[in-house]
Amino acid sequence: MGNGASRLFRIMQKSGTDTVSEVVYLTVKSVSPLILNLEDRLDITEQFIVLNDEIDKSKIKTGDKLIASTFNAGQCYFIHQALNKDIKKSNNLEKRIADLEDKNSNLEKRVNALEKLI
């Protein structure tokens, strides 16, 4: 299936377009199957949706708001981001940095304790 960016690139190649038609706000109408709604006038089914790799589909809930670009005269919706930050995939790098900062803090405490003993 490939990641979102490579899927989007293949869709753009097939359609012969490399331009964005418009940027739109979508509301999640259904999660399984994924159906997004455009301004209460159009439902967009999963076959026309490409998610950014940073969006965790398992965290999307009904009612969430998404920002998308349309391609190929509205035949493809590339979801850039979610207005709900919880939908974003967790970044292991941020967790690792926090863990390192915690370990560094513990190390400093040990060094201070050792200096007091000396």
Task: Specify the amino acid at residue 21.
Answer: S
Burial of 90: CB neighbours in 10 Å, binned 0-12, 13-18, 19+: exposed
Q: What is the mean pLDDT of residues 61-87?
A: 81
Give the domain 4-87 fold.
OB fold (Dihydrolipoamide Acetyltransferase, E2P) (2.40.50)
- Per-residue pLDDT, 34: 93
In three-state form (DSSP H/G/I as H, E/B as E, the rest C), the secondary structure along 67-81 is EEEEECCCCEEEEEE
- Cα–Cα separations (whole angstroms), residue 78 to 6, 55, 61, 92: 12, 11, 18, 24
Give the position of tokens 């005269």.
73
- Per-residue pLDDT, 28: 94
Higher pLDDT, 40 or 1: 40
Delimit the domains of the chain by residue range: 4-87, 89-118
- Cα–Cα separations (whole angstroms), residue 118 to 105, 108, 109: 20, 15, 15
- Per-residue pLDDT, 1: 45
Q: What is the mean pLDDT of residues 1-8?
A: 58
